[in-house]
Amino acid sequence: MTNSTMKTSSIKTSTIKTSTIKPSTIKSWGNYPSAETEQFFARYIVDVRKHILSNDELIARGQARSYGDSSHANTTLNTTHLNQYINFDQHSGLLTCFAGTTLENILNTFVPKGWTLIITPGTKYVTVAGAIASDVHGKNHHIQGCFSQCIQQITLMLANGELIECSPVKNTELFQATCSGMGLTGVIISATIKLQKTKTSYFSQDTIKAKNIEQALKIFEQKQDSDYHVAWIDCLATGDQLGRSIVMCAKTANKQQLKLHKSAKLNVPMFMPNLTMNRFSIAAFNALYFNKAKDNQNQIVHYESFYYPLDGLKNWNRLYGKNGFVQYQFVVPKQNGLEALTLILEKISNSKQGSCLTVLKELGPENENYLSFPIKGYTLALDFKVSPTIWGLLDELDELVLKYGGKIYLCKDARMSEQTFKQCYPNWTKLQKVREKFGSLQKFNSNQSNRLGLHP
Amino acid sequence: MKTLPTKNVVIIGATSAIAKQVAKKYADSNNQLYLVARNQEQLNIIAQDCQVRTDQGVNTFIADLTDRTQINKMFEDIQDKLSSIDVLLVAHGTLPDQKNCEQDVDQTLRAIAENGLSVINILTIAANILEKQKSGNIAVISSVAGMRGRQSNYVYGCAKSMVSTFLQGLRNRLHKSGVYVTDIKPGFVDTPMTAHIEKKGALWASSEQVGQIIVESIQKNKQTVYAPFFWRYIMLIITSVPEFIFKKLSL
Ligand SMILES: Cc1cc2nc3c(=O)[nH]c(=O)nc-3n(C[C@H](O)[C@H](O)[C@H](O)COP(=O)(O)OP(=O)(O)OC[C@H]3O[C@@H](n4cnc5c(N)ncnc54)[C@H](O)[C@@H]3O)c2cc1C
Ligand SMILES: NC(=O)c1ccc[n+]([C@@H]2O[C@H](COP(=O)([O-])OP(=O)(O)OC[C@H]3O[C@@H](n4cnc5c(N)ncnc54)[C@H](OP(=O)(O)O)[C@@H]3O)[C@@H](O)[C@H]2O)c1
């Protein structure tokens, strides 16, 4: 169908007014890489259809909280304005909303009503569609699994403009391809998410210092029953302090209060000079952070500071300067996990290129979604300021991760090779079959998917 | 949680990007809504969204606001369904193509009907209801474009300035009845209305920002509000350039 037949259809042209921005440069959270794109903003379903039908190829884009190029392409369809609620069932806690609704929106509306998210990543500024497309995980993955776990149904628009529903029981393969599918199956229009009842917006958090990586993993082991856990690692520490960390375990607090916190006031107003993040400042920061933390402390903390510590500093990504940074997140299987983490941390601390704070999490069992990241094991997320010397190091890290049977997270990725990807994600072939079956192969491609060899 | 008494909020032109944000905010604070627009499908989406947010009712009404009989029917329905009008926001509008208007009387008059006369029609009826009720807030989105005629946009501008002048008089009249009249003057807002204009620089606001300003201004019973505030100073400059210079500028 062409543009002109769209216009003469029963829908008044006024309903398909959409904002277009002339080819512009876009970046995502890592500010690396950038891409030239023609970006359209969809406000209604008809807009999505119009742009799918009138462009040869495109990729959906949400809040651009992925770090690399997974929502970059020559044509991008931004779905953040498609952000209304559709229905909420007070009995089951099932919320149906449009794709661009953010987790922040949901918390703001539902926490005061006594409902909350079951699974959330480390930032609330992501869209529901983005969270589905990356099948994101939170600090409770070892118990609750990935975001798809609380998704009852997805409505997707395919390359021919048709809407199709998929769920764990309906069009199952399309569901498994779409959850973690990085936008490559179609444009998510809406989804039904399960919320859980809550009486509190607070967590009871234990902070424990671990003097090295081995101890950190032991603490995770001892705290298997805690609902949430995460550790901050100083990845510049060496020797028998290698992997010294602050482990945080939490469960929902008894304090019965449903309160929202005001949004972040601190902001990084502009890109910092390239020198801001050098190895001395990072080492100093890490040492300070580590020494400041009190050992064996129990605190009652608001979900805002427990779930989203980084959201407290708006635009913190600008600290890495205009050239941006790469976040390298990998997971290695639990078996031999300590060995793998030790080798990798040694490599990083020897290279003196480590990041500020590194997040360590234990992940639970993998799910059936084709490109889902988590497997039972340990995941580390490290930031590397873009500089000519990091690429070689990252390639070496890839080799180690692969050797131990691990994976690299797609929504953080900006540079992985096709070969590495295909080894990490053997189910890529299943994804391609589903994409072929539903006609998505030619239409939905990103700069990332092209780099990873998913283009037909 | 602090619970404020619920209000009956009528939003006319509810499918406007700015009005949508206002509707969400009133629904979030658990008010009863009455939403009016001409596009049924879009209005339903907004009404659904509001219904998830509020425990109170969300009513809808479909009307082309340039049609007098439809406006009459709308007010009959409002008075049927709501015990009072506590807040009335008039938000609809269109941005005509100035160049086309210069060559076409129909387009010029239509733009004035959509942006000016329809608003005055609505306000004339609403004013009597609120005056009798002796309470309530009327807020209307006009524009900074109404503050000085510019060659690039004076058809739209003159309709908006008609609205602003009308609001001044209305405020004066309704003052003794305890009814507040707020004139909201946005600058550049990133909405479908301005989709064709390239958005650059710090002067552009989001519909969400402007929506927030509107809700706060109504709550504070403000009179004239620039959205965002800095437009007051920009307009101060623009309105004080002497005409003999202004006419030579290409604004
Ligand atoms: C500070 C920070 C902390 C984070 N913490 C975590 C964490 O703890 N755990 C975790 O798992 N992740 C984490 N992330 C990553 C983040 O959750 C994911 O990158 C998420 O996908 C971002 O969503 P978005 O709306 O910004 O989507 P974008 O970044 O805009 O897009 C991401 C992907 O979603 C696709 N997409 C977007 N909209 C649609 C749509 N309508 N239909 C189909 N596909 C679509 C895009 O094509 C792209 O492939 C974090 C990110 C940041 C910045
Ligand atoms: N955007 C700006 O930069 C800016 C600046 C200053 C002032 N304003 C004013 O702000 C208000 C809201 O505009 P917006 O920016 O939010 O743009 P918008 O999203 O395009 O909203 C305009 C709305 O008015 C509706 N409308 C127009 N004529 C109508 C009619 N005859 N009957 C019923 N509905 C009608 C439109 O309905 P349809 O969708 O059905 O056409 C649309 O929903 C307008 O008064 C505008 O003039 C905007």
Nearest chain B residue to A113 by CA distance is: B53
**Residues 6 or more apart in contact with residue A6 via CB below 8 angstroms:** A16, A49, A50, A53, A54
Chain B residues inside the 8 Å CB shell of A86: 45, 48-49, 52
Ligand 2 mean position, distance from CA B217 (Å): 20
Question: Is B199 a member of any domain?
Answer: yes
Considering only CA atoms, which of B203, B185, B54, B75 is closest in space to residue B132? B75
Shortest Cα distance, chain B CAs vs residue A343, angstroms: 48
Asked if B198 and A21 come within 8 Å (Cβ–Cβ), the reply is yes
A233 and A244 in contact (C-beta within 8 Å)? yes
Low-confidence residues of chain A: pLDDT under 70:
1-22, 263-265, 274-280, 282, 284-292, 354, 356-357
- B139 token code pair: 């807020």
Strands A94-98 and A187-197: antiparallel
DSSP for A255-282, please give it. Answer: -----PPPPP-EE--SPPPTTSS-HHHH
Beta-bridged to residue B12, according to DSSP, are: B36, B90
Ramachandran area for residue A35 (φ above 0: left; ψ -120 to 50: alpha; else beta)? beta
Give the pairing type, strands A377-385 and A407-408: unpaired
B46: nearest CA partner in chain A: A84
Give chain B's end-to-end CA distance (angstroms, integer).
Answer: 49
User: What are B's interface residues with A at a Cβ cutoff of 8 A?
Assistant: 1, 17, 28, 39, 41-42, 45-46, 48-49, 52-53, 190, 192, 195-196, 198-199
Position A356 scores a pLDDT of: 63
How many angstroms separate the alpha carbon of residue A54 from the centre of ligand 2? 26
- pLDDT tens digits, residue range A163-197? 999 999 999 999 999 999 999 999 999 999 999 99
Q: What is d(CA A303, CA A115) in angstroms, rounded to the nearest whole number?
A: 13
Structure tokens at A402: 């692969």
Residue B25 lies in a domain: yes
How many angstroms separate the CA of residue B7 from the nearest CA in chain A? Answer: 19
Q: Are A390 and A383 in contact (CB under 8 A)?
A: no
Which of A12, A87, A112 is the closest to B48 by Cβ? Answer: A87
Shortest CB distance from A18 goes to which of B52, B195, B199?
B195
What tokens does A344 get? 């990798």
Chain A residues with CB within 8 Å of chain B CB? 12, 14-15, 17-22, 43-44, 84-88, 95, 108-109, 112, 258
Per-residue pLDDT at A159: 98
Query: Which of A10, A13, A14 to mutate to test binding with chain B, by most B CBs within 10 Å of its CB?
Result: A14
Q: Pinpoint the alpha helices (H) of B104-198.
A: 105-112, 118-133, 154-174
Check: CB of residue B40 under 8 Å from CB of residue B61.
no
- Please report, for residues A35, A445, B31, the alpha-carbon distance to residue A23 in angstroms, rounded to integers and kept in the order given: 10, 18, 42
Contact A326, A392 (CB under 8 A): no
> Considering only CA atoms, which of B42, B29, B36 is closest in space to residue B10?
B36
Residue B1 lies in a domain: no
| Residues of chain B with confidence (pLDDT) below 70 | 1-4, 199-200
CB A135 within 8 A of CB A213: no
Q: Which residues of B touch A19 (CB under 8 A)?
A: 190, 192, 195
Question: B191 C-alpha vs ligand 2 centroid, how far in Å?
Answer: 9
- Nearest by CB to A21, from B45, B52, B199: name it: B199
User: Rounded to the nearest whole angstrom, what is the distance from the C-alpha of residue B90 to the centroid of ligand 2?
Assistant: 10
Number of structural domains (chain B) is: 1
Query: Going by DSSP bridges, is the β-strand pair B87-90/B8-12 parallel, antiparallel, or unpaired?
Result: parallel
Q: Whose CA is nearest to atom 41 of ligand 2?
A: A14
Closest atom of ligand 1 to A183 CA is 44
CATH number of the domain enclosing B180: 3.40.50.720
Q: Can you say how many angstroms the Cα of residue B220 is from the centroid of all Cα atoms in its chain?
A: 17
Q: How far apart are CA B209 and CA B228, in angstroms?
A: 8
Angstrom distance (rounded) from CA A387 to CA A107: 38
All domains in chain A, ordered by first residue: 3-8+17-197+434-451 (3.30.465.10), 202-417 (3.30.70.2520)
ipTM of the complex, rounded to two decimals: 0.91
Q: Contact A255/A303 with Cβ under 8 angstroms?
A: no
User: For A88, which residue in chain B has the nearest alpha carbon?
Assistant: B52
Lining ligand 1 with CB less than 6 A are A 28-29, 59-66, 70-71, 79, 99, 121-123, 126-127, 129-131, 133-134, 136-138, 182-183, 187-188, 310, 411, 446
Q: Is residue B2 part of a domain?
A: no
Residues of A in contact with B39 (CB under 8 A): 12, 14-15
For residue A19, the surrounding DSSP H or E stretch is strand A19-27
Nearest CA to ligand 2 atom 2: B189
Of residues B28, B41, B190, nearest to A109 (C-beta): B28
What is the C-alpha to C-alpha distance for residues B33 and B23, in angstroms, rounded to an integer?
A: 8
Length of chain B: 251
- 8 Å CB contact between A258 and A199: yes
DSSP string, B63-80: --TT-HHHHHHHHHHHHH
Contact B53 A18 (CB under 8 A): no
Residues B112-132 have pLDDT tens digits of 999 999 999 999 999 999 999
For residue B185, the enclosing domain spans 8-246
How far, in Å, from the CA of B79 to the mean position of ligand 1? Answer: 47
Q: What's the confidence (pLDDT) of residue A158?
A: 98
CB-CB neighbors (< 8 A) of B45 in chain A: 44, 84, 86
Partner residue opposite B52 with nearest CB, options A19, A22, A85: A85
The per-residue b/e assignment along B154-187, b for 16 or more CB within 10 angstroms, e otherwise, is bbbbbbbbbbbebbeebbeebeeeebbbbbbbbb
